[in-house]
Amino acid sequence: MSYYLGTRYLRNVEVQDEKGTNSVIMAVTYAMDTRYTMIFAQQYDLDYGMNVTSELTVLRRYHRAYCGITFNVDESLDNRSVIFSIWPQGVKELAIGSRRYMNLTSVPGD
């Protein structure tokens, strides 16, 4: 299991007469076993007191390929999406779909 906690400040953004925005970003990656990895990520805006985005991803390792499915809720854009990705081991250039979590599945020598 690994964790990430960070902050983000955007000073060149002006929304509703407020300049800048502060966000807290949190992510947890959990390897359930050798085949499955789950990632949960959350971004919360402190200035507006609201959730910006939530994301849940499940990665599956097959013999020589990987696939992932991501459920994303973006409150800032009022958008919900499901993203499917697939890529062969060792040839990341042939990926179809989002490439965001490809480095989590790399095997030494790929």
Cα torsion 31, 27, 74, 82 to 10°: value is: -10
Please give the pLDDT value at position 95.
81
> 3-state SS of the chain: helix, strand, coil percent to 5?
5, 65, 30
Please give the pLDDT value at position 104.
65
Using the predicted structure, report yes or no on whether residue 14 has a pLDDT greater than 70.
Answer: no
- The gap from C-alpha 44 to its chain's centroid, in whole angstroms, comes to 14
Please give the pLDDT value at position 105.
61
Model pLDDT for residues 37-75, shown as the tens digit of each residue: 999 999 998 887 889 999 999 999 999 999 999 999 998
User: Dihedrals φ, ψ of 16, to 5°?
Assistant: 50, 50
Find the range with the poorest average confidence among 10-14, 37-41, 93-97.
10-14
| 2-16, 58-72, 87-101: range with highest mean pLDDT | 58-72
Mean pLDDT, the chain, integer:
84
Q: The dihedral of CA 8, 97, 56, 72: what is its sign?
A: positive
Q: How confident is the model at residue 11 (pLDDT cuts 50, 70, 90)?
A: confident
